[in-house]
């Protein structure tokens, strides 16, 4: 390469390069991103296959190939982006490449491979329309896509070194500083110090004989942030250009790029760029004959977080331990070797050429006053679309997380965003309307930092996050300040105590005190901000700390020592699923039954209709495979073993006449309470409004899921001499709360359930042909009335909607069944397997649609007016709110409409409770204390759906168990507390040795009756597992319990299988 000698040379050279660029035809170009993340995902393989294909087919003049750095959408790597149409083919495999090339040559889009938005399913033909890109302003990051970082010509083609040319032509360093100042650019490294002001100070500092330094800080130590790597890797010349301009502005001749050793590709590309710039004469002595000297060298960091702090960085550059020094003097006055040193972050330097090229005024139009320009964030963690995003400062967190990031990847709700790395804090989802700028984030207890945005959801434990950061800071504290060194250690120990179950509430106070001391007494930024992770989580998530300390529970299932085997912790009634699965693996079926029955009085019911949170938490599933089919295994046992195998422990009431307790409602909650109180010697009377006990099990759950004889048998096994069931007796009509106390009942439990479907709130909801789902299901389940006719529409997305749809499908005069749901399938609250079964049977599901009008013909329901939705901001449940699309109104012809949007207890049930002096909520549920289940009236407890609204069977059973304990305490005059129960295994069961070669990997499929047969009758759909299937499935269990048994209590080994 010929060295450029003068400014005119540079101008001429740039003109030639752009002229050549303009001559280039519109040849389709395949762009492959091969930054560190691209290469990690296999971009090199894709590149090779493209090259191979091009050579083999002789396509050299038909297709161009460009290898670039990271574009930011790391999620979809390895990908091919086709320019100029911007077709994005994500997550390609090597064998897909020829198909993409064929499509490019043929001028069409390969629909099977083109980018499809997850969850929604929309295909996008242009990258610019993809939600991830649409709301971004990719001023800096955008150029990564345009150029090959190791080819300087590519950079010149994209206005490379135009800013340098402008600066050299002006030959006025003061002008540069004025431009940067009036652009409002603030340092992107974290603290947000105005960059122009810093340069001004640096220019004024020192005398003419002293050397000065410009340092590019690429010691990107914040775990979770990687935009600096991406910039240095993907567009190194833009950083060099920024540094040279900085050098000219402040009068420095020495540049240093301090880069983490963990970034080998960034180092390589920077070295290449430096060599090219030197050869071209853009670095060195007397650059282009303008009298400016500037040379840049690379210094590699050797791995110390604190070296991101500028005084520590300087020590490290000098070859010492990276311990910070007292400021002032600031590095601007006395930095490297005692000389003035101006340290700028990579992203700050990347902005320089943008400001110079477009002008400060133009630049300042982006963003908000005081926070101008764009900022790159690394949007990572529990989010659907992860990667680097560049947005104008001042955009809200919510927009970044939901509109660009696409919200949560699964059903778990997003809980918080952590910004600013270990020095930052956690911002809870309630504050997602906060604009991201330097000042707002600080006020919220966090900082901007270098731009990490780590999204956390319900499965992230905030105490664990605080512990994680404190562990990091404890390791990274350089040790110079005592309070930082010791304080971070002590805070980490306390957090360890809390996450391992030894925490006390007093420690929380100590933790806060320590945090404040460390913040106030440390010398450098590391210590001063070390408290942020603790203080911000305490500020917004104190309840999680308390839950760990008081209840010894980690609801995110992260803190192992509190969780124990996850299947057990996930079960609302604490069933030791691992234990009965182990018994099944060993062929000990009666033992398995006893384990199941001890925790749960409705094993057969739950074996069929439980939502099995145990399986959602099963480690076999969360570690990347399929969870154990725990519910099917439970069914396998309950189908085989008689309930009489389990003989519960009974206590006779010791002091005189046993007390009487009234339970109103014979559903799973009420019957569970009755059963457990009976075991303690109470006399319980259960009042039931319907002719038979069973509550929702009978009324709402269809027979094809839960056969009636199974319910009956289960209930019969629970009833004993202590329990009297009185049917056809309802609260209000036949009994009152006052009356029950008058009749000598010591306590009353309200377990009425939620039997009233909520209306849509549209006109004509009461016309014939429109039914609330509970009414529809009850009519069929209790009276065999078939209300559905012809074309049936079901509104809703919960289990009740699916039950109604599948029941309707089985009714005589039904032609078709369509479920209309206002969000997408991903947001449907119904159990996935139920949805699948419904679809299999022929139910159609239409999503993103809402009803607007119920139309009638001669008094009968005939049409439903509907409108289409798109997904907008998330609502209080964390699910994205459906937003009506204007002009999408349409009408569907239907004969029957079933409304299944939600249920409550209904005015009929709630009124008598209220007249009994019991407070109720605005949502027609009874107000009860979450810990004690006590209502506003002493002696009256409430449990199940009447408190929670529609909920699962197992939650109702758990509530019933708790109510029994609370009522017992109440009657005995004891404090209403439930003792904290450890979730650690109490027995050791030897695992069955399985040959690893033969160890099965895949989950057994729950057998179902054939679709053709089952969809026209009400026989049970699911079929039990065979002994062989069950044994195989049970042996797949990873036996998480063993870790805890072996660790905590070696003695229990001796106890063997059955003992307690």
Partner 1 sequence: MEQHSDVETVNPRDQTGGEICLTCKHLPGCVQRSKQASPILFCDLYEEGEWSADLVAGIIDKHRGERGGLISILEGIQAKYGFLPESALRLVAERTGRSLVDIYGVATFYKAFTLEPRGRHLCSVCVGTACHVRNAPAVAEEFQRQLGIHPGETTEDREFSLETVNCLGACALGPIVVVDGHYFPQVNTRQVGEIIGKTQVGLDFVEVATDERVFPVEVFCARCNRSLMDPDHPIEGHPSVRVTISFGRKHGWLRLSSLYGSFTIESEDEIPEDTVLNIFCPTCHAELAGATDCPVCGAPMVPLIVRGGGMVQICSRRGCFSHLLDVSGSGA
Q: Map residue 64 onto helix, strand or coil.
A: strand
Token digits of residue 87: 């077709």
Find out whether 419 and 897 touch, Cβ atoms under 8 Å. no
Find out whether 343 and 217 touch, Cβ atoms under 8 Å. yes
Distance in Å, CB of 102 to partner 1, minimum = 16
Judged by CB under 8 A, does residue 84 bind partner 1? Answer: no
The mark string for 605-644 relative to partner 1 (x by CB under 8 A, - otherwise) is -----------------xxxx-------------------
Distance in Å, CB of 300 to partner 1, minimum = 7
Distance in Å, CB of 42 to partner 1, minimum = 9
Distance in Å, CB of 319 to partner 1, minimum = 4
Number of residues that bind partner 1 (CB under 8 A): 92
Using CB under 8 A, pick the residue from 238, 316, 423, 529 that binds partner 1: 316
CB closer to partner 1, 43 vs 749: 43
Distance in Å, CB of 817 to partner 1, minimum = 39
Strands 896-899 and 770-772: parallel
Strand stretches in 445-491, DSSP E: 452-457
DSSP string covering 587-640: T-HHHHHHHHHHH-S-HHHHHHH---HHHHH-HHHHTTSPPP-HHHHHHHHHHH
Token digits of residue 1054: 């001796």
CB atoms within 10 A of CB 826: 19
What phi-psi label fits residue 575: left (phi over 0), alpha (psi between -120 and 50 degrees) or beta? beta
The DSSP H or E segment spanning 268 is helix 264-280
Q: Map residue 1013 onto helix, strand or coil.
A: helix
Find out whether 261 and 345 touch, Cβ atoms under 8 Å. no
What's the chain's Rg over C-alpha atoms? 34
Distance in Å, CB of 1038 to partner 1, minimum = 9
CA distance 967 to 939: 8
Nearest to 37 by CA among 67, 73, 66, 65: 73
CB closer to partner 1, 264 vs 587: 264
Task: Classify the C-alpha dihedral 256-260-266-272 as positive or negative.
Answer: positive
Judged by CB under 8 A, does residue 851 bind partner 1? Answer: no
CA distance 275 to 304: 28
Distance in Å, CB of 460 to partner 1, minimum = 5
Distance in Å, CB of 963 to partner 1, minimum = 36
Using CB under 8 A, pick the residue from 114, 465, 530, 596 that binds partner 1: 465
Using CB under 8 A, pick the residue from 4, 10, 32, 37 that binds partner 1: 37
The mark string for 707-746 relative to partner 1 (x by CB under 8 A, - otherwise) is ----------------------------------------
CB closer to partner 1, 426 vs 913: 426
- Tell me the window of 33-41, 392-400, 502-510, 831-839 that interacts with partner 1 (CB under 8 A): 33-41
Judged by CB under 8 A, does residue 534 bind partner 1? Answer: no
Distance in Å, CB of 718 to partner 1, minimum = 40
CA distance 67 to 75: 18
- Tell me the window of 189-197, 464-472, 507-515, 899-907 that interacts with partner 1 (CB under 8 A): 464-472
Find out whether 749 and 670 touch, Cβ atoms under 8 Å. yes
CB closer to partner 1, 460 vs 673: 460
Q: What residues have CB less than 8 Å from 541, skipping those under 6 apart?
A: 416, 426, 428, 462, 463
Distance in Å, CB of 640 to partner 1, minimum = 32
Nearest to 88 by CA among 63, 111, 57: 111
Q: What is the crossing angle of helices 1027-1035 and 630-640, to 10°? A: 140
Judged by CB under 8 A, does residue 418 bind partner 1? Answer: yes
DSSP string covering 749-812: EE-----EEPP---TTTTSTTEEEHHHHHHHHHHH------EEEEEE-SSHHHHHHHHHHHTST
Q: What residues have CB less than 8 Å from 832, skipping those under 6 apart?
A: none
CB closer to partner 1, 148 vs 1029: 148
- Tell me the window of 311-319, 561-569, 918-926, 970-978 that interacts with partner 1 (CB under 8 A): 311-319
CB closer to partner 1, 302 vs 907: 302
376 to 345, 416, 978: CA distances (angstroms)? 12, 19, 49
Residues 361-390 that bind partner 1 (CB under 8 A): 378-382, 386-388
Residues 48-77 that bind partner 1 (CB under 8 A): 48-52, 54-61, 63-65, 74-75, 77
Residues 221-240 that bind partner 1 (CB under 8 A): 221-226, 229
Judged by CB under 8 A, does residue 472 bind partner 1? Answer: yes
Distance in Å, CB of 488 to partner 1, minimum = 15
Using CB under 8 A, pick the residue from 158, 181, 268, 539 that binds partner 1: 268
322 to 219, 304, 331: CA distances (angstroms)? 12, 8, 14
The mark string for 388-417 relative to partner 1 (x by CB under 8 A, - otherwise) is x-----------------------------
Distance in Å, CB of 95 to partner 1, minimum = 8
Judged by CB under 8 A, does residue 1029 bind partner 1? Answer: no
Residues 150-179 that bind partner 1 (CB under 8 A): 150-151, 153-154
The mark string for 801-840 relative to partner 1 (x by CB under 8 A, - otherwise) is ----------------------------------------
Distance in Å, CB of 721 to partner 1, minimum = 51
- Tell me the window of 119-127, 448-456, 570-578, 632-640 that interacts with partner 1 (CB under 8 A): 448-456
- Specify which residues 377 forms β-bridges with: 389
Distance in Å, CB of 701 to partner 1, minimum = 35
Using CB under 8 A, pick the residue from 322, 335, 449, 944 that binds partner 1: 322
Judged by CB under 8 A, does residue 212 bind partner 1? Answer: no
Distance in Å, CB of 932 to partner 1, minimum = 34
Distance in Å, CB of 720 to partner 1, minimum = 46
Find out whether 545 and 463 touch, Cβ atoms under 8 Å. yes
CB atoms within 10 A of CB 504: 13
Distance in Å, CB of 263 to partner 1, minimum = 6
* Residue whose token pair is 């460009």: 66
Judged by CB under 8 A, does residue 120 bind partner 1? Answer: no
Distance in Å, CB of 113 to partner 1, minimum = 18
Judged by CB under 8 A, does residue 858 bind partner 1? Answer: no
Using CB under 8 A, pick the residue from 123, 275, 981, 1053 that binds partner 1: 275
Find out whether 559 and 552 touch, Cβ atoms under 8 Å. no
CA distance 552 to 566: 14
DSSP string covering 511-542: HHHHHHHHHHH-SSHHHHHTTHHHHHHHHHHH
CB closer to partner 1, 71 vs 552: 71
Token digits of residue 454: 């780590």
Burial 949-972 (b: 16+ CB within 10 A, else e): bbbbbbbbbbbbbbbbbbbbebbe
- Tell me the window of 118-126, 454-462, 963-971, 1009-1017 that interacts with partner 1 (CB under 8 A): 454-462
The mark string for 667-696 relative to partner 1 (x by CB under 8 A, - otherwise) is ------------------------------
């Amino acid at each position: 390469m010929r060295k450029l000698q003068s400014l005119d040379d540079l101008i001429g050279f740039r003109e030639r390069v752009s002229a050549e660029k303009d001559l280039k035809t519109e040849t389709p170009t395949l762009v492959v991103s091969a930054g560190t993340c691209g290469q990690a995902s296999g971009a090199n393989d894709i590149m090779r296959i493209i090259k191979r294909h091009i050579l083999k087919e002789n396509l050299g003049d038909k297709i161009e190939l460009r290898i670039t750095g990271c574009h930011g959408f790391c999620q979809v790597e390895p990908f091919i982006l086709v320019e100029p149409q911007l077709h994005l083919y994500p997550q390609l495999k090597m064998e897909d490449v020829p198909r993409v090339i064929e499509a490019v040559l043929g001028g069409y889009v390969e629909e099977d491979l083109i980018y499809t938005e997850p969850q929604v399913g929309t295909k996008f033909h242009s990258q610019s329309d993809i939600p991830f890109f649409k709301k971004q302003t990719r001023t800096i990051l955008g150029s990564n896509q345009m150029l090959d970082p190791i080819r300087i010509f590519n950079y010149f083609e994209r206005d490379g070194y135009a800013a340098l040319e402008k600066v050299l032509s002006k030959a006025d360093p003061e002008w540069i500083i004025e431009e940067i100042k009036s652009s409002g650019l603030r340092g992107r490294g974290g603290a947000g110090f105005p960059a122009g002001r810093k340069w001004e100070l640096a220019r004024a500092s020192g005398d003419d004989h002293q050397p000065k330094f410009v340092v590019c800080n690429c010691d990107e130590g914040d775990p979770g942030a990687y935009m600096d790597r991406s910039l240095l890797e993907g567009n190194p010349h833009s950083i060099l250009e920024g540094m040279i301009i900085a050098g000219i502005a402040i009068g420095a001749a020495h540049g240093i790029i301090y880069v983490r050793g963990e970034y080998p590709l960034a180092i390589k590309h920077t070295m290449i760029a430096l060599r090219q710039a030197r050869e071209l004469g853009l670095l060195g002595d007397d650059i282009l004959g303008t009298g400016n000297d500037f040379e840049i060298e690379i210094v590699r960091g050797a791995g110390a977080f604190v070296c991101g702090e500028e005084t520590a960085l300087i020590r490290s550059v000098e070859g010492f331990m990276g311990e910070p020094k007292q400021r002032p003097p600031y590095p601007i006055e006395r930095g490297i070797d005692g000389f003035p040193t101006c340290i700028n972050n990579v992203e700050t330097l990347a902005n320089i050429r943008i400001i110079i090229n477009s002008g400060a005024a133009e630049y300042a139009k982006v963003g908000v006053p005081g926070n101008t320009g764009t900022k790159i964030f690394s949007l990572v963690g529990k989010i659907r679309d992860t990667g680097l995003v560049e947005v104008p400062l001042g955009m809200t967190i919510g927009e970044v997380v939901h509109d660009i990031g696409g919200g949560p990847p699964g059903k778990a709700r997003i809980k918080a965003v952590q910004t600013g790395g270990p020095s930052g804090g956690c911002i809870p989802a309630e504050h997602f309307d906060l604009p991201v700028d330097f000042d707002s984030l600080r006020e919220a207890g966090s900082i901007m930092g270098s731009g990490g945005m780590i999204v956390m959801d319900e499965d992230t434990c905030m105490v664990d996050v605080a512990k994680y950061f404190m562990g990091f800071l404890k390791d990274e504290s350089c040790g110079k300040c005592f309070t930082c060194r010791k304080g971070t250690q002590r805070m980490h120990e306390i957090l360890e105590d809390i996450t391992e179950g030894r925490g006390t509430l007093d420690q929380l106070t100590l933790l806060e005190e320590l945090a404040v001391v460390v913040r106030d007494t440390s010398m450098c930024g590391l210590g001063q901000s070390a408290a942020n992770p603790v203080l911000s989580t305490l500020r917004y998530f104190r309840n999680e700390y308390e839950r760990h300390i008081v209840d010894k529970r980690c609801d995110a299932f992260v803190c192992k020592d509190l969780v124990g085997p996850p299947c057990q912790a996930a079960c609302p009634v604490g069933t030791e699923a691992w234990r009965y699965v182990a018994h099944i693996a060993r062929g000990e079926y009666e033992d398995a039954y006893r384990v199941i029955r001890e925790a749960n009085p409705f094993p057969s019911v739950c074996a069929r209709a439980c939502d099995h949170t145990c399986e959602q938490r099963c480690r076999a599933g969360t570690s990347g495979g399929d969870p154990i089919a725990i519910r099917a295994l439970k069914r396998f046992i309950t189908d085989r073993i008689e309930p009489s195998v389990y003989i519960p422990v009974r206590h006779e009431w010791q002091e005189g006449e046993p007390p009487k307790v009234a339970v109103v409602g014979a559903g799973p909650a009420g019957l569970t309470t009755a059963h457990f109180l009976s075991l303690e010697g109470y006399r319980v009377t259960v009042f039931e409004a319907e002719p038979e006990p069973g509550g929702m099990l009978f009324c709402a759950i269809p027979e094809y899921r839960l056969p009636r004889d199974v319910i009956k048998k289960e209930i019969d096994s629970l009833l004993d001499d202590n329990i009297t069931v009185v049917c056809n007796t309802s609260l209000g009509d036949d009994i009152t709360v006052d009356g029950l106390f008058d009749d000598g009942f010591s306590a009353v439990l309200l377990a009425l359930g939620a039997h009233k479907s909520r209306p849509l709130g549209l006109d004509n909801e009461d016309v014939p042909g429109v039914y609330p789902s509970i009414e529809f299901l009850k009519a069929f389940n209790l009276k065999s009335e078939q209300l559905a006719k012809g074309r049936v529409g079901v509104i809703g997305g919960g289990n009740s909607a699916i039950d109604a749809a599948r029941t309707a499908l089985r009714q005589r005069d039904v032609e078709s069944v369509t479920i209309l749901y206002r969000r997408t399938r991903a947001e449907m609250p119904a159990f996935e397997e139920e949805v699948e079964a419904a679809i299999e049977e022929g139910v159609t599901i239409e999503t993103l649609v809402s009803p607007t009008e119920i139309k009638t013909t001669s008094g009968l329901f005939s049409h439903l007016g509907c409108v289409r939705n798109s997904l907008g901001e998330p609502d209080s449940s964390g699910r994205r709110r459906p937003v009506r699309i204007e002009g999408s109104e349409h009408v569907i012809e239907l004969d029957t409409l079933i409304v299944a949007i939600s249920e409550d207890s209904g005015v009929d049930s709630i009124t008598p409770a209220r007249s009994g002096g019991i407070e109720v909520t605005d949502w027609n549920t009874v107000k009860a204390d979450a810990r004690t289940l006590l209502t506003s009236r002493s002696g009256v407890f409430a449990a199940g759906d009447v408190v929670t609204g529609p909920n699962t069977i197992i939650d109702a059973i758990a509530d019933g168990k708790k109510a029994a304990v609370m009522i017992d305490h109440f009657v005995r005059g004891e404090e209403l507390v439930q003792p904290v129960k450890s979730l650690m295994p109490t027995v050791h069961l030897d695992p069955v040795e399985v040959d690893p070669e033969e160890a099965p990997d895949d989950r057994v499929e729950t057998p179902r009756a054939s679709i053709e047969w089952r969809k026209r009758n009400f026989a049970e759909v699911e079929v039990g597992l065979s002994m062989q299937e069950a044994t195989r499935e049970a042996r797949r269990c990873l036996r998480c319990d063993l870790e805890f048994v072996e660790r905590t209590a070696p003695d229990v080994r001796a106890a063997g299988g059955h003992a307690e």
